[in-house]
């Protein structure tokens, strides 16, 4: 029949009535003879009342009436029950655990110290708790990794069984029903999660390192001292690289492969190296994000995939042979007037060059420059030529030499302090150190200095360096010297507002953060450049003060890297030649530049404020290892151009 259904009596549970809940008596629905069902919401809740209901059963009685259109009215009574219970955040803990996708391979099986706030103490955490208040609630316990994994998986299974089980009245809400198990399940899952995380290890990075070493052999070794590994100030083993002439030195570069195959392989190698670095930092006890088995497996897969696609090209030895012929007469004449140290370096370089020149190129594929297998690498040929030319240029006449080694080492050790300036030191102590340092540099440059003068300059420098007195700390950011290259922050004239980070060592771009020093709560963020996703020309260093407010942003400039790929190669030189063929000398003075300013700055490898063919020629010489681009930069003569 056609009918109108509505509640005509509502007996609300008296306990609900006191918590902002009323019965919904204004509802009605019209049905048809076709039959079916209808949805009725029996309660109206006052959302402004935040009183929490006590756990338990709340029963209300509702009388429904159906007004007939053809026959008599029909009335029936419903009992509506509401059951309130505390799930103790079990659902939230479970969702977090599932999304974490923990793998057993990422956790150790030994004993570990787990420090955390236990489940039963969570209710004691005050609102807006301080770090000290949270630490007071923490407890430390020893857990076994294997046992912790079993406890974690068991807690997961129990949580799933409770959260996703149907809420049946006779099994859920009665005395001793399922709802009473939520507290124990939440406690077990929360505590198990804290304890398994204490057993976390980086499981996959060792495999990544093995895969990378199989492609690019590790050419570093542990430095030994008195029969034991030499350690740094943090207790870590010190490693060094095999000399260029050592058979264990690795030669692996862009020039050894077809360009596009190396370009595709390089990002995968970089990813693998970053994972390995993160893993090794973790082994040293530093707080780094663990490496999951999935992450490591994916990195290893892509590394091997693109390594298998590398195509070797033959090496050319013509320039190396020319260098050998150029210096053969000096080698054949013997040491004669040259100092022992410089002659020894020259002989080592000459012998290495001749041995490389005698190596077989390998078998090329017919009709191409590609190798059918392994063979001499162009990177080794280039290194041999460069080392020979450098050693020949450093030949020094004279038998009796004053030993400047210790003095130069003292200067190198204190150069970063000197270059950083007086900002961190008291006026008196800095003045004495500055005088001692500048005197040491002058003595080191004096070829007529006696050994006594050299030793005295070194002693005074070391003494004054040890007597430097630090000022009260102020916020800021500075850099440590990286193999004779000192990063510095510079600013152009106030009119342009351009700011740059120069003095970058191309061999340490990946680890630049290890040489950044912040004080007074300052922080920073490095953003890779847009062209190559790399920490090179065009990348950005943003500095923030202790309040998190941005202080300044500096654009990376690696002199010679106009393409932003993280190294200075022949492609940069070719780009420069193309530029110089299109613009007149002087057209790219910095004060006239706006767009692509960092790339323009990087192109000025001669540091003369101009971009011309001389910059391109220096890039070519750098790529050929004939000359080296100076990454250290000083202010131009024109004070209106730049001010440090």
Structural domain includes residue 369: yes
Of 393, 418, 439, which residue sits at a domain end? 393
Q: Please check whether residues 94 and 78 belong to one and the same domain.
A: no
| Domain identity same for 96 and 62 | no
Per-residue tokens: 68:
């007939």
For 567-598, the pLDDT digits (tens) are: 777 777 777 777 666 544 344 433 333 345 77
pLDDT at residue 624 above 50? yes
**What mean pLDDT comes out for the span 318-333?**
95
Mean pLDDT, rounded, for 360-366: 88
Given a cut of 60, is residue 508 above it in pLDDT?
yes
506 and 576 assigned to the same domain: yes
Exposure pattern of 188-223 as b/e (b: 16+ CB <10 Å)? bbbbbbbbbbbbbbbbbbeebbebbeebbeebeeee
My answer on whether 537 and 634 are in the same domain is: yes
Ranges of H-type helices in 376-520: 378-393, 405-420, 427-445, 451-466
Where a domain ends, among 466, 493, 513? 466
Q: What is the pLDDT of residues 511-552, one digit of tens each?
A: 788 888 888 778 888 888 876 666 788 888 898 887 788 888
Tell me the C-alpha distance between 399 and 341, whole Å: 10
Domain harbouring 539, CATH code: 1.10.1330.10
Nearest to 379 by CA among 311, 325, 320: 320
Across 25-39, 274-288, 472-486, which has the greatest mean pLDDT?
A: 274-288
Mean pLDDT of 217-222: 88
Q: Are 521 and 484 in contact (CB under 8 A)?
A: no
Which of 191-200, 391-400, 420-429 bottoms out in mean pLDDT, i.e. has the lowest?
Answer: 391-400
Identify the domain boundary among 168, 197, 226.
197
Total domains in the fold of the chain: 6
Query: Could you give phi then psi for residue 595, rounded to 5 degrees?
Result: -70, 150
Give CA–CA dist 223/131, Å, rounded: 41
Identify whether residues 501 and 553 lie together within a single domain. Answer: yes
Q: Are both 237 and 349 inside the same structural domain? A: no
- 280 in the same domain as 243: yes
Assess whether 163 and 209 both reside in one domain: no
In which domain, by residue range, is 271 found? 205-307
Q: Between 599 and 92, whose confidence is greater?
A: 92
**Looking at the structure, do residues 183 and 240 belong to the same domain, yes or no?**
no
Is residue 188, in this structure, part of any structural domain at all? yes
- 69 within a domain of the structure (yes/no): yes
Which of 15-29, 136-150, 270-284, 435-449 shows the lowest mean pLDDT across its residues?
A: 15-29
The answer to whether residues 116 and 61 belong to one domain is: no
Q: Within a domain: residue 472?
A: no
- The whole-angstrom separation of Cα 448 and Cα 466 is 28
Is 639 in the same domain as 524? yes
pLDDT of residue 309: 94
In a domain, 615, yes or no: yes
Of 53-62, 236-245, 343-352, 604-613, which one has max mean pLDDT? 343-352
Domain for residue 312, yes or no? Answer: no
């Amino acid at each position: 029949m056609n009918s109108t259904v509505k509640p005509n009596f509502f007996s609300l549970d008296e306990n609900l009535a006191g918590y902002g809940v009323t019965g919904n008596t204004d509802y009605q629905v019209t049905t048809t003879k076709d039959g079916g069902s209808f949805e009725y919401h029996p309660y109206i809740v006052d959302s402004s009342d935040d009183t929490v209901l006590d756990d338990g059963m709340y029963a209300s009685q509702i009388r429904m009436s159906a007004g007939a259109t053809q026959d008599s009215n029909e009335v029936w009574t419903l009992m509506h029950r509401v059951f309130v219970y505390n799930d103790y955040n079990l659902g939230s803990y479970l969702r977090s655990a599932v999304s974490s996708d923990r793998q057993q391979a990422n956790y150790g099986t030994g004993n570990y110290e787990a420090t955390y706030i236990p489940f039963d103490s969570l209710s004691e955490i005050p609102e807006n708790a301080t770090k000290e208040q949270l630490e007071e609630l923490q407890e430390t316990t020893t857990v076994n990794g294997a046992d912790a994994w079993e406890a974690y998986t068991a807690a997961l299974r129990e949580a799933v069984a409770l959260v996703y089980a149907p809420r049946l009245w006779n099994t859920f809400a009665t005395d001793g029903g399922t709802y009473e198990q939520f507290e124990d399940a939440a406690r077990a899952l929360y505590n198990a999660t804290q304890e398994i995380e204490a057993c976390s290890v980086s499981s996959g990075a060792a495999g990544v390192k093995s895969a990378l070493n199989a492609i690019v052999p590790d050419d570093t070794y542990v430095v030994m001292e008195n029969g034991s590994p030499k350690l740094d100030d943090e207790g870590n083993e010190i490693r060094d690289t095999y000399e260029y002439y050592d058979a264990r030195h690795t030669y692996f570069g862009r020039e050894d492969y077809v360009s596009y195959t190396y370009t595709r392989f390089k990002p995968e190698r970089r990813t693998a190296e970053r994972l390995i670095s993160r893993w090794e930092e973790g082994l040293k006890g530093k707080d780094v994000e663990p490496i999951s088995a999935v992450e490591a497996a994916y990195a290893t897969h892509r590394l091997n995939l693109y390594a298998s696609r590398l195509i070797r090209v033959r090496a050319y030895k013509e320039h190396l042979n020319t260098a050998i012929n150029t210096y053969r007469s000096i080698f054949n004449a013997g040491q004669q007037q040259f100092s022992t140290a410089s002659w020894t370096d020259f002989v080592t370089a000459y012998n290495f060059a001749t041995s490389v020149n005698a190596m077989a190129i390998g078998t090329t594929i017919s009709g191409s420059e590609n190798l059918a297998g392994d063979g001499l690498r162009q990177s080794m040929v280039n290194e041999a030529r460069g080392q020979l030319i450098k050693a020949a240029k450093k030949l020094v006449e004279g038998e009796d030499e004053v030993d400047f080694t210790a003095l130069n080492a003292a200067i190198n050790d204190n150069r970063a302090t000197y270059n950083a300036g007086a900002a961190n030191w008291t006026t008196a102590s800095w003045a004495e150190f500055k005088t001692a340092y500048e005197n040491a540099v002058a003595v080191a440059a004096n070829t007529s200095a006696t050994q006594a003068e050299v030793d005295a300059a070194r002693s005074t420098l070391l003494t004054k360096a040890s007597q430097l007195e630090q000022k009260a700390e102020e916020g800021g950011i500075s850099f440590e010297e990286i193999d004779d290259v000192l990063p510095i922050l510079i600013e152009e004239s106030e009119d342009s507002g351009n700011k740059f980070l120069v003095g970058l060592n191309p061999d340490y771009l990946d680890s630049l953060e290890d040489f950044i020093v912040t004080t007074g709560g300052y922080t920073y963020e490095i953003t890779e450049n847009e062209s190559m996703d790399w920490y090179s020309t065009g990348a950005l260093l943003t500095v923030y003060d202790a309040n998190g407010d941005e202080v300044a942003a500096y654009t990376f400039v690696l002199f010679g890297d106009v393409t932003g790929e993280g190294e200075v190669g022949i492609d940069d030189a070719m780009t420069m030649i193309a530029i110089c063929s299109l613009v007149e000398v002087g057209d790219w003075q910095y004060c006239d530049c706006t767009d692509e300013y960092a790339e323009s700055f990087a192109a000025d490898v001669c540091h003369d404020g101009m971009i011309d063919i001389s910059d391109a020629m220096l890039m070519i010489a750098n790529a050929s290892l004939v000359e080296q681009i100076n990454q250290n930069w000083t202010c131009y003569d024109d004070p209106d151009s730049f001010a440090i």
